[in-house]
């Protein structure tokens, strides 16, 4: 099968969507499918293969580490002329997502859309952070989902949200998969490298250190826990603009000697980071799936996290971790203390439950579901009479342009008439 993956974020960018596109692409290619990835250029060069097409982009948009791709459907149509995608998989509802609609129309291929992100949680990256802007992005994403032939939701939380927004497009829940076996085996050598005592209790976190991840709260909550536990340490694998703020919070609490910032970690080093922790702490409320939670659980870690989208689809309270329903530093610290004081046999039970939970997120299982969806959608599209005449093709492309324009206009109109989402 020829699969076209279109994304606004991709390697070497570190983030959930980039990871998802890369993971699925590698698995599809391993199974013999041809996958072409269309993604933005980055200042940092990456080792691309011949089936990665880079689009010129505005670098470091508004001070962030995101690149904003420029729409170039004509350029892409020429590059894809001999590829002829069987399915077009869009991973965003705007920018390159609009181009995906045009490409799908041009090649009469079904459009698959994955709603990865709570876009209304990322408005600090644009100059205006207004209630009407939230209404706009919510309606724009929902309208895009209505244009697709199939929608993939990475969690039940996302599926429920899109349904509430009036999306009736056929929807399938497929989380991004992980290599469960790889995360199961790791070393605790990073503890020694950080001079952490053998009897220490290490609270850990993995992820991009960005404002939308609620990391000021996490740092303050973990600091609160460490003040009551002299054996406690905090280890973070990741990098981003919140790095200095986290350091500042621990310095203010005179706990900077128990803070260990590992920087960006990948591959075996990332696995070892998980295995150097005793509990995984997660405070983000902007997630659509609990991917890092699944990775942590595969490594045998109980999880303490704030209840929210994605999290509640993975974390079962007092079964594989602790679900914090009250967003206060004291409540979160109490969750960490619950894990800390578990007797050995009870902790073993929680760890076993965590590993069992992670097994449901295997890359093999997720790829099976996605490929089955592609095949079903492609077969249904092929069953319809395919008219490749110039007249029909022109009409389809005009319709695609109209759909993109109408979706944008409707989202703007809804935002103007509203004071913001409920």
In the numeric block, the tokens 């090649």 are attached to 107
d(CA 340, CA 358): 21
Tokens coding 62: 């508004």
Crossing angle, helix 131-147 and helix 390-416, to 10 degrees? Answer: 150
Burial of 305 (0-12, 13-18, 19+ CB in 10 A): buried
The per-type count for the chain, helices as H runs and strands as E runs, is 15, 15
Residues 6+ apart with CB under 8 A from 321: 279, 280, 297, 302, 303, 304, 305, 315, 339, 350, 354
Instruction: Please tell me the pTM assigned to this model.
Output: 0.82
SS (H, E, C) 360-403: CCEHHHHHHHHHHHHHHHHHHHHHCCCCCCHHHHHHHHHHHHHH
Q: Could you tell me the mean pLDDT of each successive run of 10 residues in the chain, 422 residues long?
A: 94 85 97 96 79 79 54 76 94 89 92 87 57 81 93 94 95 96 96 96 95 95 97 96 97 97 95 98 89 96 94 95 97 98 98 96 96 94 55 53 61 62 54
Tokens coding 182: 């790889």
d(CA 151, CA 358): 24
Largest CA distance in the chain: 74
The pLDDT value recorded for residue 212 is 86
Distances in Å between the alpha carbon of 238 and those of 51, 210, 267?
29, 10, 13
Residues 6+ apart with CB under 8 A from 32: none
Q: Three-state DSSP class for 52?
A: strand
User: What structural domains does the chain harbor?
Assistant: 2-177+363-416 (3.40.50.2000), 180-359 (3.40.50.2000)
CA 195 to centroid of chain Cα atoms: 32
d(CA 310, CA 160): 11
DSSP-assigned letters across all residues of 109-166: -PEEEE----GGGGGGGSS---HHHHHHHHHHHHHHHHHSSEEEESSHHHHHHHHHTT
* Beta bridge mates, 22: none
**pLDDT single digits (tens) 2-48:** 999 999 889 887 778 999 999 999 999 999 999 999 998 887 766 78
Q: Other CB atoms closer than 10 Å to residue 98's CB: what's the count?
A: 23
Asked if residues 260 and 236 have their Cβ atoms less than 8 Å apart, the reply is yes
The pLDDT value recorded for residue 233 is 98
First to last CA, the chain: 42
- Residue in 269, 311, 289, 295 with CA at minimum distance from that of residue 179: 295
CA 212 to centroid of chain Cα atoms: 12
The pLDDT value recorded for residue 290 is 84
Q: Three-state DSSP class for 419?
A: coil
The pLDDT value recorded for residue 5 is 98
SS (H, E, C) 319-350: CCEEEECCCCHHHHHHHHHHHHCCCHHHHHHH
Tokens coding 206: 């993995």
Asked if residues 306 and 282 have their Cβ atoms less than 8 Å apart, the reply is yes
Asked if residues 202 and 278 have their Cβ atoms less than 8 Å apart, the reply is yes
């Amino acid at each position: 099968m020829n699969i076209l993956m279109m994304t606004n974020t991709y390697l070497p960018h570190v983030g959930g969507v980039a990871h998802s596109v890369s993971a699925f692409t590698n698995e599809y290619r391993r199974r013999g499918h041809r996958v072409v990835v269309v993604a933005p250029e980055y200042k940092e060069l990456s080792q691309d293969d011949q089936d990665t097409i880079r689009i010129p982009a505005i670098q470091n948009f508004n001070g962030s580490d995101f690149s904003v791709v420029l729409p170039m459907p004509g350029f892409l149509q020429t590059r894809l002329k001999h590829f002829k995608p069987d399915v077009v998989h869009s991973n965003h509802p705007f920018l390159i997502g609009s181009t995906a609609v045009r490409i799908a129309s041009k090649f009469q291929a079904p459009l698959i859309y994955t709603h990865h992100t709570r876009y209304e949680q990322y408005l600090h990256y644009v100059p205006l952070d207004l209630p009407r802007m939230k209404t706009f992005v919510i309606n724009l994403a929902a309208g895009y989902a209505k244009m697709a032939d199939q929608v993939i939701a990475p969690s039940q939380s996302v599926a429920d949200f899109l349904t509430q927004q009036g999306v009736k497009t056929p929807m399938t829940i497929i989380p991004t998969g992980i290599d469960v076996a790889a995360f199961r085996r790791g070393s605790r050598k990073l503890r020694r490298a950080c001079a952490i005592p053998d009897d220490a209790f290490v609270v850990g976190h993995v992820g991009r250190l960005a404002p939308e991840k609620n990391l000021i709260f996490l740092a303050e909550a973990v600091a609160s826990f460490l003040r009551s536990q002299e054996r406690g340490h905090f280890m973070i694998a990741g990098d981003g603009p919140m790095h200095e703020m986290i350091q500042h919070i621990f310095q203010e609490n005179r706990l900077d000697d128990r803070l260990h910032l590992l920087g960006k970690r990948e591959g075996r080093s990332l696995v070892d980071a998980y295995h150097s922790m005793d509990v995984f702490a997660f405070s983000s409320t902007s997630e659509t799936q609990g991917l890092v939670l699944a990775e942590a659980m595969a490594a045998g870690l109980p999880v303490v996290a704030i209840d929210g989208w994605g999290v509640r689809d993975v974390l079962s309270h007092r079964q594989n971790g602790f679900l914090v329903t009250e967003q206060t530093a004291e409540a979160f610290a109490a969750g960490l203390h619950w894990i800390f004081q578990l007797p050995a046999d009870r902790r073993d039970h929680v760890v076993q439950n965590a590993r069992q939970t992670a097994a449901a997120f295997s890359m093999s299982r997720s790829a099976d579901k996605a490929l089955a969806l592609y095949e079903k959608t492609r077969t249904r599209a092929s069953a319809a009479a395919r008219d490749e005449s110039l007249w029909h093709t022109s009409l389809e492309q005009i319709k695609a342009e109209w759909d993109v324009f109408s979706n944008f206009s409707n989202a703007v109109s809804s935002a103007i008439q509203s004071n913001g989402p409920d």
